Amino acid sequence: MSRFRRRPDLRLSTPDPFLGYNFRVKFRQTAVLAVFLAALGVAAWWLYYNWRDHSQDAVILAAARRYNVPPALVKAVVWRETWFNPGALGSHGEFGLMQVCAEPGGEWAAAERIPSFTPEQLLDPATNTLAGAFYLGKLLKRYPRTDNPMVYALADYNAGRGRVLQWNKGAAETNSAAFLAQMTFPGVRKYITTTLKRYERYEPVFGK
């Protein structure tokens, strides 16, 4: 055996600087591509959201003008009920954009003297918003002495007249804050507050 040991080849344990450079380049390229795809996805979602948010503006505005109801409120109800889906069907017989049931739909048809009305016609966006705005206008007129008829009308729209009569006792008969406070259904309270918040968002666009 040789008295001199062979020194290890240091070149084998030294990292290749070009390998590190290539890795960094590929990493940057992958990161840039990921950021680009994420930005593209966000832009596509925003465009879709914006399109859908305005997809029913024409019929909403026409129906609101027809029955003298704030268009921002009609749109807020459409947003809350179906997020602008004209083909939506509810679990309790509700139809279309504003989830109008057969009874208020028939009441609207009778008031407008429309013969041969069927609930399925409420799947048409124009018909649905007309019937829904008609009904919403009726509910707003039902609570003229309150400080905010919208709160009471939305409670009636969502939970029915019977529930409103249970909750509007004492100060709550005219004070909307007291009315909301003594609601026994948190879901109805959330329905009202989220719809009114959306109404405030739409109101500057549509105006009163």
Q: In terms of residue numbers, what domain contains 36?
A: 11-52
Backbone φ and ψ for 100, nearest 5 degrees, come out as -85, 135
Domain count within the chain:
2
Residues 6+ apart with CB under 8 A from 69: 63, 133, 136, 137, 140
- Is residue 3 situated within a structural domain? no
Q: How far apart, in Å, are the Cα atoms of 201 and each of 42, 53, 59, 171, 197? A: 22, 12, 19, 29, 7
Does some domain include residue 2?
Answer: no
Residues 95 and 17 in one domain: no
Residues 135 and 158 in one domain: yes
**Do 42 and 101 belong together in one domain?**
no
Residue 202 domain-assigned (yes or no): yes
Evaluate whether residue 148 is within a structural domain: yes
Shared-domain flag, residues 104 and 122: yes
What Å distances lie between residue 148 and 133, 173, 179, CA to CA? 18, 11, 10
| Domain assignment of residue 170, yes or no | yes
Is 97 found in the same domain as 18? Answer: no
Enumerate the β-bridge partners of residue 89. Answer: 95
Residues 157, 142: contact at Cβ < 8 Å?
Answer: no
CATH number, domain at 117?
Answer: 1.10.530.10
Do 39 and 64 fall within a single domain?
no
Which amino acid is it at 108?
W
Same domain for 15 and 77: no
| Sign of torsion over alpha carbons 140, 143, 145, 147 | negative
Three-point CA angle 160, 161, 163, nearest 5°: 75
Q: Of 132, 152, 134, 133, which Cα lies nearest the Cα of 144?
A: 152
Sign, Cα dihedral of 147, 153, 159, 163: positive
What is the per-residue pLDDT for 88?
Answer: 98
User: Which residues have CB under 8 Å from 146's CB, separation 6+?
Assistant: 152, 173, 174, 175, 176, 179
How many angstroms separate the CA atoms of 57 and 75, rounded?
8
Evaluate the CA torsion angle 82, 57, 38, 33 in order and state its sign. positive
Question: Are 41 and 119 within one domain?
Answer: no
**Residue 15 belongs to a domain:** yes
One digit per residue, pLDDT tens: the chain, 208 residues? 555 555 555 555 555 665 666 667 676 777 777 777 777 777 777 788 799 999 999 999 999 999 999 999 999 999 999 999 999 999 999 999 999 999 999 999 999 999 999 999 999 999 999 999 999 999 999 999 999 999 999 999 999 999 999 999 999 999 999 999 999 999 999 999 999 999 999 999 886 5
Do residue 87 and residue 170 come from a single domain? yes
User: What pLDDT is recorded for position 34?
Assistant: 76
Domain identity same for 60 and 28: no
Q: Are residues 48 and 120 in the same domain?
A: no
